[in-house]
Amino acid sequence: MKLVYTSITGQSHRFVKKLDWLDKAIRLGPQGDEPNLTEDFLLLVPTYESGLEYVDDFLEDHLNYCKGILGSGNRNFGPDFCHTAKRLSKTYGLPLLHTFEYSGAPHDIDYVKGILAHES
């Protein structure tokens, strides 16, 4: 199981680092050098929507391999907390597996490690 993520402010990257999953993670960026995955993955995205068109492009090309969405955000955004994760889940019919604030608390790390272990 791979973990595919994008990080605008660095919070999502810090979360992946806390998971000790960097060796199994792929960081997406707007450069256009989209990886071609042929294995299952979870997708981790931040709240911010602007400039993340490349995430939709990647997901559309690899939808059959995506097993769920994880979202990082700031609860101060109110109903927009983890907006991108919620939108991707709804748009593509994928389960929203977990949302967390900033780079995640210890219980968020443990929970997502459990998901990754179960899915692997």
pLDDT, tens digit, 9 for 90 and up, residues 23-47: 889 999 877 667 888 999 999 999 8
Residue 59 pLDDT: 93
pLDDT tens digits along 43-99? 999 987 777 888 999 999 999 999 999 999 888 777 888 999 999 999 999 999 999
Instruction: Report the alpha-carbon distance of residue 97 to residue 93 in Å, rounded.
Output: 12
Structural domain count of the chain: 1
CA atoms within 13 A on the CB side of 71: 22
Radius of gyration for the alpha carbons in the chain, expressed in angstroms and rounded: 13
* 62 vs 92: CA distance, rounded Å: 11
Alpha carbon distance 110, 113 (integer Å): 5
Q: For residue 85, with 0-12 CB atoms within 10 Å meaning exposed, 13-18 middle and 19 or more buried, which class applies?
A: buried
Owning domain of residue 27: 2-119
Specify the CATH number for the domain of residue 96: 3.40.50.360
Say if pTM beats, i.e. exceeds, 0.85: yes
